[in-house]
Structure 1
Amino acid sequence: MCLTRLLLMSILCLSSVSWIGAQSKVGIVDSQKIFSTYAGAVDAGKELEAENQKWAQELQQLDDELKRQREELERQRLLLSEARRQEREQEIGALTGQIKKFREDKWGENGEYFRKQQELMRPVIERINRAINQIAEEDKYDLILDTVQGNVLYARERFDITPEVIDLLESEAP
């Protein structure tokens, strides 16, 4: 009796899963491909990278100045008075602190890089989401998954709507 009931429940579950699968339309997108292909995302990435390079150059100049000051102090250590040597060491300490603060301000947890990335990418992500939602509504998709998140281990190419999303994004480019 219990075995029959278990068998009946298993058959019912399997048939309902296949019925749901037959009734649902599923699509997948590769958001990594969208971000590397869509001109709006590529442009935002280039702008962010240009800003990052500018900051890296500023940091390099500060590091070079610190190195120069340390080397100069070592060369002149024997010639300097105790007071002058301490003054130079304080200057070096202040520059070291300035460099640390610069790094934190630019690349720290809530630094300028993070804020700039949010500022540049938020509108891009919103456009991508609108495009995906538009395609989902127009083509009556029930579910769209992103392959990058690791939720999709395998899908036939016919389920991939990434090219449609990119085409839609490029056609409505600002």
Structure 2
Amino acid sequence: MRFRNFLMVALLAFAGFGAQLSAQKIASVDMEKILTSITEYQEAQDQLDQLAAKWQQEINQEYDAIKGLYNKYQAEQVLMTDEQRQAEEQAIFDRETKVRNMQADRFGPEGSLFQRRQELIQPIQDAIYEAIETYANQNNYDFIFDRAGSAGIIFSSEQYDKTDEILRTLKN
């Protein structure tokens, strides 16, 4: 949060300095307010929340079953042969591994929930960003910030993008 505040102050100071050379138009939007006012976004978010809750419940049930197997094993291990103990331990370990893999497949960074989120929410976000860019271009805004989140700059006029110049400097 401190870095964001510092970035904002530095950018505003830069904008103030640049105002002497040419006036820059800066605006902000509240992306959270925009997203929550779109019915399709709310429906997609509800669908994702329900899916996540369903999957989490399934995973919790599996962990409960594993706990039951472990408790049963603890109670009966004194009556088991070494081979039986090893087989039970391996079965419990395998089931734990299976559940951890299921959890990663569903909730991991490239998991099913993330992919579903991309399918449902990305088109809505793309439409919003396109609307912001169109608005910025039509009204000659140089920068548009998201004041609700951590996204920072949502739109920046290409004339202020110095990425290629920095890359050329690094290559020399």
TM-score (norm 1): 0.67
Kindly state the Cα deviation for residue 121 of structure 1 after the two structures are TM-superposed: 1.5
Whole-angstrom CA distance in 1 between matches of 2:122 and 2:113: 14
Which of structure 1's runs of 4+ aligned residues deviate more than 6 A? Answer: none
- Please tell me whether Structure 1 or Structure 2 has the larger radius of gyration of its CA atoms: 1
Please list every run of 5 or more consecutive structure 2 residues that lacks an aligned counterpart in the other structure: 1-15, 154-172
CA RMSD, aligned part only? 2.5
- Quick one: structure 1 residues 71 and 134, their matched pair in 2 at CA, closer, same or farther if it must change by over 3 Å? same
Corresponding residue of 1:17: 19
Corresponding residue of 2:105: 105
Pairs within 5 Å for 1:40-79: 40-79=40-79
- Quick one: structure 1 residues 136 and 15, their matched pair in 2 at CA, closer, same or farther if it must change by over 3 Å? closer
- Quick one: structure 1 residues 145 and 79, their matched pair in 2 at CA, closer, same or farther if it must change by over 3 Å? same
Corresponding residue of 2:95: 95
User: Structure 2: which amino acid aligns with 1:116?
Assistant: R
Whole-angstrom CA distance in 1 between matches of 2:68 and 2:37: 44
Structure number with greater CO (CA < 8 Å, separation at least 6) is: 1
Question: Identity over the aligned pairs, expressed in percent?
Answer: 26
Paired residues in the alignment total 137
Pairs within 5 Å for 1:140-155: 140-147=140-147, 148-149=149-150
Whole-angstrom CA distance in 1 between matches of 2:152 and 2:90: 55
Whole-angstrom CA distance in 2 between matches of 1:15 and 1:31: 28
TM-score (norm 2): 0.67
